[in-house]
């Protein structure tokens, strides 16, 4: 895997510095355990490179549902689509079962925080639907938040359920306050604002991959929030599909070799790229970011500070974990 390090561009105080990693890899598609093993190895590499935080793409475990657009995924009551979904559901991540325990142990052992996109099979919602969830594991190996994507996008709605606001929280990592959103949630101004209001100054956006998603939006978010912005993308080529992938021949025949070309990057609070978006290859971007640059850029715009007008505009956020049934015994 290629290691990419941008030049250092800002000089602040030692305590202002944080080394972050952005990992762009392909999953072992439809294979939860093997993908988690691959991710564990990359976390080790990121720690060896000095990273204190590493971020991975959306739905990386066990992979994004790329089959939908290549196999007539919207065909109703179709046996093939039911079989694909059944396999996808079986490979989903059940956090309560301990599926992420090894990752948590590595995070604790190497003192590194992790943002990871998973397809969560949630027992608290019956266990037969999947949620596109962004999991934050702190450097002590503790899962501190599980953010379920508020609204699946386009064909995702065929296989993903709607999430809630429970995971709209931020975390302290070194000098920074870090929050994250899944893919097209990053286009939702109120979702972004929910994180800004909590003091976010390092924004993690995770994507299945695609330069069209990351060549402009991270720049806008950085300029809007005056924060560092990470775009962590997945990668998928037909050559990455395991030989026993269901309907592999049809998926391969229906399109080009590159299914998702990546586009991972890091943008500074002034909207400049620390490293240009990386495409078509697996890579680990390693960069030292500096909180002093955040403070400098907030001098003329701080959305929930000196530039706020709570007497006129105010946001109300429901962070209740939603459930379809409330049981009262006795």
Could you tell me if 53 and 173 are in contact, meaning their C-beta atoms sit under 8 angstroms apart? yes
Q: Which residues pair with 131 in a beta bridge?
A: 120
From 104, 132, 183, 233, active-site residue: 183
The closest alpha carbon to 37, from 62, 2, 64, belongs to 62
Catalytic (active site) residue 223: no
pLDDT of 311 reads: 95
What three-state secondary structure class fits 188? coil
Could you tell me if 23 and 48 are in contact, meaning their C-beta atoms sit under 8 angstroms apart? no
In the sheet where 202-207 sits, what is the strand order? 171-173, 176-182, 202-207, 228-233, 262-267, 273-279
The closest alpha carbon to 67, from 141, 136, 159, 175, belongs to 159
Domains identified in the chain and CATH numbers: 2-297 (3.60.110.10)
Within 10 angstroms of residue 127's Cβ, the number of other Cβ atoms is 12
Distance of alpha carbon 227 from alpha carbon 112, whole angstroms? 21
The closest alpha carbon to 170, from 140, 193, 151, 141, belongs to 193
pLDDT of 37 reads: 98
Distance of alpha carbon 36 from alpha carbon 41, whole angstroms? 9
Within 10 angstroms of residue 88's Cβ, the number of other Cβ atoms is 21
First to last CA, the chain: 57
Q: What are the CA-CA distances from residue 36 to residues 14, 89, 116, 209 (Å)? A: 34, 16, 10, 18
What's the gap between Cα 188 and its chain centre?
15
Distance of alpha carbon 113 from alpha carbon 52, whole angstroms? 6
pLDDT of 11 reads: 62
In order along its 330 residues, the chain shows pLDDT tens digits of 899 988 665 566 789 999 999 999 999 999 999 999 999 999 999 999 999 999 999 999 999 999 999 999 999 999 999 999 999 999 999 999 999 999 999 999 999 999 999 999 999 999 999 999 999 999 999 999 999 999 999 999 999 999 999 999 999 999 999 999 999 999 999 999 999 999 999 999 999 999 999 999 999 999 999 999 999 999 999 999 999 999 999 999 998 999 999 999 999 999 999 999 999 999 999 999 999 999 999 999 999 999 999 999 999 999 999 988 888 898
pLDDT of 255 reads: 86
Catalytic (active site) residue 149: yes
From 51, 132, 149, 297, active-site residue: 149
Phi-psi region of 275 (alpha: psi -120 to 50; beta: other; left: phi over 0): beta
């Amino acid at each position: 895997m290629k290691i990419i390090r941008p030049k250092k561009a800002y000089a602040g105080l030692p305590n202002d510095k944080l080394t972050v990693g952005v990992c762009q890899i392909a999953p072992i598609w439809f294979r939860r355990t093997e993908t988690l093993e691959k991710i564990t190895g990359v976390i080790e590499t990121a720690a060896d490179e000095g990273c204190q935080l590493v971020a991975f793409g959306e739905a990386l475990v066990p992979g994004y549902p790329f089959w939908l657009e290549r196999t007539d995924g919207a065909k109703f009551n179709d046996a093939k689509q039911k079989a694909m979904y059944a396999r996808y559901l079986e490979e989903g991540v059940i956090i309560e079962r301990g599926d992420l325990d090894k990752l948590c142990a590595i995070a604790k052992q190497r003192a590194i925080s992790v943002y990871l996109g998973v397809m969560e099979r949630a027992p608290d919602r019956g266990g037969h639907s999947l949620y596109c969830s962004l999991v934050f594991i702190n450097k002590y190996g503790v899962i501190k938040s599980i953010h379920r994507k508020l609204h699946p996008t386009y064909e995702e709605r065929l296989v993903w359920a709607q999430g809630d606001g429970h995971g709209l929280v931020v975390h302290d990592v070194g000098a920074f306050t870090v929050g994250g959103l899944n893919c097209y949630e990053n286009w939702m101004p109120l979702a972004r604002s929910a994180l800004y209001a909590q003091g976010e100054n390092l924004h993690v956006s995770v994507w299945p991959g695609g330069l069209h998603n990351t060549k402009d939006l991270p720049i806008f978010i950085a300029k809007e929030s005056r924060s560092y912005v990470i775009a962590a993308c997945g990668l998928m080529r037909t050559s990455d599909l395991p030989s026993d992938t269901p309907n592999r021949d049809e998926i391969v025949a229906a399109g080009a070799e590159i299914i998702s070309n990546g586009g991972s990057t890091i943008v500074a609070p002034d909207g400049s790229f620390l490293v240009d978006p990386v495409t078509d290859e697996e890579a680990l971007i390693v960069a030292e970011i500096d909180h002093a640059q955040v403070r400098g850029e907030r001098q003329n715009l701080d959305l929930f500070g000196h530039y706020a007008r709570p007497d006129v505009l105010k946001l109300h956020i429901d962070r209740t974990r939603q459930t379809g049934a409330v049981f009262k015994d006795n």
